[in-house]
Amino acid sequence: MHKDFEKVLVTKEQISTRITELATAISTDYKDTKPLFVCILKGSIIFYADLIRKMTVPCQLDFIQVSSYGSGTTTGKIKLLKDLDNSIEGRDVIIVEDIVDSGKTLSYLKELLGLRKPNSIKICTLLDKPERREVALEADYCGFVIPNEFVVGYGLDYDENYREFDQIYILKPEVYM
Ligand code: IMP
Ligand code: MG
């Protein structure tokens, strides 16, 4: 294991099993529509790529990028770095996120996309840290509820590092203190 990691929090087997369950649930709920999966760059790309490949209904993809200033957890100021390529009017949108922490990123995005007249918007997150919530925000689909620890791997970063690891690890506090 990498020297900066304290321990594995979610193994690749657990991730894979849970993603199949999520994709099955979403495929059932959206069986008569063609959902548009919105990937929030960059943290959710690996989860997103695995999730859509387990879907059993036709899907379409689009990408959006926001930044919260600072390198670790969010400071709450959100900037739109890359917008969607296409209109979402009348579409059934599923926003795919890596982790819900304070809830600010997703409440900003839900409001922004909500103004564009989609038919529906739901949120699918791999991880949820409810203890850290500052604004009311609930995911419609959630992979794992986790304790208040800083995690990396499987797309999640600290200062753009560790995204390439295939499991989710707790980062040693001395790395970000
Ligand atoms: P929120 O706006 O506070 O909900 O923050 C969500 C964003 O903060 C995520 O998309 C991540 O980029 C980042 N973040 C929050 N907690 C963690 C963590 O434990 N590891 C890595 N990134 C995190
Ligand atoms: Mg990040």
Question: Of 171, 170, 109, which Cα lies nearest the Cα of 139?
Answer: 109
pLDDT at 72 over 60: no
Number of domains in the chain: 1
Rounded to whole angstroms, the Cα distance separating 133 from 26 reads: 25
pLDDT at 74 over 90: no
Over residues 85-95, the mean pLDDT reads: 98
Going by pLDDT thresholds of 50, 70 and 90, the confidence category of residue 67 is confident
pLDDT value at residue 70: 56
pLDDT value at residue 73: 58
pLDDT value at residue 158: 97
Distance 99 CA to ligand 1 centre (A): 6
Beta-carbon neighbours within 5 Å of ion ligand 2: 43
pTM score, two decimals? 0.95
Is residue 169 domain-resident?
no
What's the CATH number where 137 sits?
Answer: 3.40.50.2020
pLDDT value at residue 163: 98
Is residue 159 domain-resident?
no
Identify the nearest ligand to the CA of 107 by its number: 1
Q: Name the residue at shortest CA distance from atom 5 of ligand 1.
A: 101
Is residue 90 domain-resident?
yes
pLDDT value at residue 77: 79
pLDDT value at residue 71: 52
Is residue 66 domain-resident?
yes
Decide: 65 and 39 in contact? Cβ < 8 Å: no
SS3 at position 13: helix
Q: In this predicted model, which residue has the larger pLDDT, 157 or 69?
A: 157
pLDDT value at residue 17: 98
> Which of the listed residues 73, 105, 108, 161 should we mutate to test ligand 1's pocket, taking the one with most ligand atoms within 8 A of CB?
73
Decide: 75 and 132 in contact? Cβ < 8 Å: no
Is residue 55 domain-resident?
yes
Domain assignment of residue 86, given as a range: 13-147
pLDDT at 76 over 70: no
**Catalytic residue at 62?**
no
Decide: 73 and 101 in contact? Cβ < 8 Å: yes
Is residue 57 domain-resident?
yes
Is residue 111 domain-resident?
yes
Query: Which residues 6+ apart lie within 8 Å of 100 measured at CB?
Result: 106, 123, 125, 127, 128, 129, 133, 137, 139, 142
Distance 85 CA to ligand 2 centre (A): 22
Is residue 25 domain-resident?
yes
